[in-house]
Amino acid sequence: MKKTGFVTALGAMSGTSLDGVDAAVVVTDGITIRSFGDTAYRAYSVEEAAILKAALGQWPSDDLADVAELIETVHAQVLSDFGDVDLVGFHGQTLAHDPDNRRTHQCGDGQVLADVLGQTVIWDFRSADVDLGGQGAPLAPFYHFALAKYLKADAPVAFLNLGGVGNLTWIDPTHEKPETEGALLAFDTGPTNAPINDLMLARRGVPYDADGALAAEGSVDEAIIETFLNHAFFYRMPPKSLDRDDFVDLARSVEKLSDADAAATLTAAAAMSVVKAMEHCPSQPTRLLVTGGGRKNPTLMAMLAAGLDMDVVAVEDVGLDGDMLEAQAFAYLAVRVARGLPTSCRGTTGVRAAVSGGTISRPNL
């Protein structure tokens, strides 16, 4: 790869929703975004998703060899369909995340992919940050900063990713670099799609609440929401991050509710966790740009709009691809790692100093 100038990077992301692998191309120099390229998506089968879900919470061991092989095989299938690229960013699948004890586990070996693809692969993005006392998440904020510049934003704006876990990035685009003090504040907001998806699979045998239709039929249990919002996590100052299953009590709290009321209550919990999170922002953003699968849930989006005094819009409204933004982020971050640029800082993960995370694997030809 060239040491300077714009390159074509391919990124892949398999998120906590366990729905599949996104892949996307970004043309960038690791600072500025020039353009976006091809994208692809490969859904996990019901059987594959079940294997991944059963592995959640597990740490690296020989017992996960089959899980790692599944992750590597599916990613190789997706990534091998792309044309000529300069490098690949591979996030892997987060199975466990415990930054307080300085450990995080993204399953999948980038060296395997490098050998299969015959291409340089950047991976293991989170470990260096966690080793230095950071939360290791979220990592997309540096890309969000570049997107704010790409959109020519001139006042604070926020990105909200509604994945299995929600995360928020507040951006002051008047700064030149994302690692500058005051340029970024980023943190996980709370559980979003994961509890809803788990409920739908357990009760209805479907992977998610399509269009928020079931939640729209139900009534929110306000007592459950009040208890949920009293959780200590919401009172911790950011940066802060969550594991997919940190809020198991929320899932248990809706067990006696009807399907519709349970869906409505979990959806309200997702929305209210974001409303609570906005209290930590240094200033009110001009708009909230929503990405991730949750933006396709009209019930959730309506709850957000009702609870926030700002424009709440899907990123498509400003010309971005909300399905692929996370994959694009790891393409962008891969270039930054390859060029020794920071990928996280105190304002995004709480790490003591700006750090460039990631392992570089080249194919053994």
CA distance 107 to 225: 33
Among all chains, which residue has been given the structure tokens 């044309």? Answer: 83
- The pLDDT value recorded for residue 250 is 96
CATH superfamily membership of 7-137+324-361:
ATPase, nucleotide binding domain (3.30.420.40)
Q: How confident is the model at residue 197 (pLDDT cuts 50, 70, 90)?
A: very high
Q: How confident is the model at residue 147 (pLDDT cuts 50, 70, 90)?
A: very high
- The pLDDT value recorded for residue 208 is 93
- The pLDDT value recorded for residue 19 is 87
Contact 238, 346 (CB under 8 A): no
Contact 239, 277 (CB under 8 A): no
Q: So where are the chain's domains?
A: 7-137+324-361, 152-318
Class (C level, CATH) for 152-318: alpha beta
When pLDDT is averaged across residues 249-264 and rounded to a whole number, the result is 97
CA distance 260 to 245: 22
- DSSP annotation string for 303-320: HHHHH-SSEEEEGGGGT-
**Are both 7-137+324-361 and 152-318 of the same fold?**
yes
Average pLDDT, the chain: 95
What digits encode the pLDDT tens for the residues 166-186?
Answer: 999 999 999 999 999 999 999
- The pLDDT value recorded for residue 204 is 97
